[in-house]
Structure 1
């Protein structure tokens, strides 16, 4: 085996071990357990951080192609639709508004 692959394989094995351990632990916990609520809060905060980062400081290709007003309008429309109709509606509304605003206000 090529020694250059060793760190990647060790990291993959550790990641798999952590996932298996998490699944085994989660089987013993109820849905209202504090650890489960903490994990859900961390997951939600991570997703929120990614959304804010994509809105404020997007990757170069997105920043060059999509104006900030389109990104903000897409997030606002997606959030409003999600709160009213659910996740799929929020995704469709956000992408639709982003596309329409980007077409009207091109860079």
Structure 2
């Protein structure tokens, strides 16, 4: 496979227009500007970006890059099972209740 065939088969990943303004976006966020204001800044610089796209871009940039060590699952110790003591609820201590029917005679006309 020559270079031309490889290029046809494998497309170059498109770099986001927002990525060109990454440092400016980060600075505006740090200074407390709203996403709506940042979209206005981008529009003034020739980039039409919806607020939802900007929000997704910001979330992607804030996520730490996955490193092989980060992907390793740490084994957590198995928590000790807590069991209820068998003598906590003794049958002899459970009292029976008498069911009392309400007296509705006072409500009769």
What TM-score range do you get, normalising by the shorter chain?
A: under 0.3
TM-score (norm 2): 0.22
More helix by share: 1
TM-score (norm 1): 0.22
- Structure showing greater relative contact order (alpha-carbon pairs closer than 8 Å, 6 or more residues apart): 1
Query: Considering only CA atoms, is the larger Rg found in Structure 1 or Structure 2?
Result: 2
